[in-house]
Amino acid sequence: MERRKVEFKDDVRGYLEATFVNEAQNKEECGSYFDVLQERLASPPMFTTLRLNTTKHSAEEIHAIINQELQKVYTDRKWDPPQSFLHPELDDVLVIENRGPRPIKKMEKEVIIDQSCGMAVMRGADIFVQGILGAPTNMMSGDLVSVVVDLDGRVLKGDTQPLSGPRLHVGNGVAKFDRDAIFKSQPPPSGVGILMTEPLYEAPCLSDLRPDLIMAQNLPSIVCTHVLDPKPGERILDMCAAPGGKTTHIASRMQNKGEVIAIDRSDVKVEKIRSNLERWALTCVTCHACDALKVTVGQRGGDINFPEIPAEYFDRILLDVPCSALGQRPSIKNAMTLNSLKSYPGYQRKFIRKAVQLLRPGGVLVYSTCTITMEENEKQAVWMLENFPELILIAQHPHLGSRGRQCRGLSDDQRQVLQMFDPACDISRDGSCDKMAVYNRDTIGFFIAKFTKIKK
């Protein structure tokens, strides 16, 4: 089966390669490393991780419930039931093994979707009606259709012609509506438009699957909250909270006792966070729809009068900054421009400055991204240490990823306490992930740095 690589714009690819080469001691292996990294980014992780709501049920009880639900879902699609297990090092995580890629026969009729929808399908999603861009005029409910991704983004909504440009066949599924019902009905139908029965990658479809008990979340994102280690009764800031998985995790780990402030600039996303908190009966979180950079820092010792927050108010801050997101998987064709890519480090530093002001001495700051660039990860950690002498890198628990990559300004000891989830770490000659379990290694690209603040 053809091996795909994520496509970057030429100048972006050159910039990324040059960065890795400049920092590496063994420059010969950088080319092969980057080739493998591009391949890994183009495919989905072969494990789905679910965070469990253990406030009312044990992890074992939830595992049994979800296993039963998955058996039914997989049987209905004529799939073999999946292998699943509780993560041996994280007490609130269920791991499900995915399968693929597998050969897919091309059907006579094909449905066209965009790249974002296609990437969701590769991680187990069905296709909702609004995600269908094009379909043949003779498509009827019940037809078995091929699902193809328009990689160039040129197909217009309602197209009737087969896709002629670059494509990716992500599987076959059953149409739940006639074509005319999808494109001509007023109002248009809602819900699942294509039920994926023969996907390229077999992964659990989790829509409406016991949202009171589970939340799908990438493993490194779950690890991030465990590294923050929030305690009952503490004051915690989730500074860039959307989509909210970490917010609910923080409140859960605090046993719903304490004060959590969650900030995000999107009203819609904040409402989604509130909905998830309500579903899990978590009441210790206050959400604000606001750009975190517009928070003003007041005098120490006062109370919050949002958007003013007293200086050094929080015991712990999670700063999952806006980033280039180049670690997300799968990704086939990335439209990121070089100017956009280069803009992120400076933008992130504005959040870092604010976070340091709001963290009390002795408090903990966890900085994280879902990208692979040195500038937003290891080099950002170097910048923080150089510009804020009150910050000290400290060890992370758990440490399931590999150590930080070689970077000027970081000692070997400092690299050891950084945590990098690198999809291509297994080809590195430094042995940093030789002992990692495959389910900890086969993840999205993600970076975590943990600091404590001392008195100046």
Active-site residues: which are they?
A: 370
Residue 374: closest CA among 23, 14, 6: 23
CA 152 to chain centroid, in Å, comes to: 24
Look-up of token digits 């712990």: 316
- Give the span between the Cα atoms of 2 and 319, in whole angstroms: 39
Characterize the bridge pairing of strands 259-264 and 285-289. Answer: parallel
- Rounded to 10 degrees, what is the CA torsion of 74, 41, 103, 157? 80
- Which DSSP helix (H) or strand (E) runs through 216? strand 214-216
- Give the span between the Cα atoms of 75 and 70, in whole angstroms: 8
Residue 373: closest CA among 442, 436, 320, 420: 420
- Which DSSP helix (H) or strand (E) runs through 246? helix 245-253
- Rounded to 10 degrees, what is the CA torsion of 209, 213, 217, 223? -160
Residue 52, strand partner residues: 214
- Give the span between the Cα atoms of 418 and 378, in whole angstroms: 8
**Residue 396 and residue 454 in contact, taking contact as beta carbons nearer than 8 Å:** no
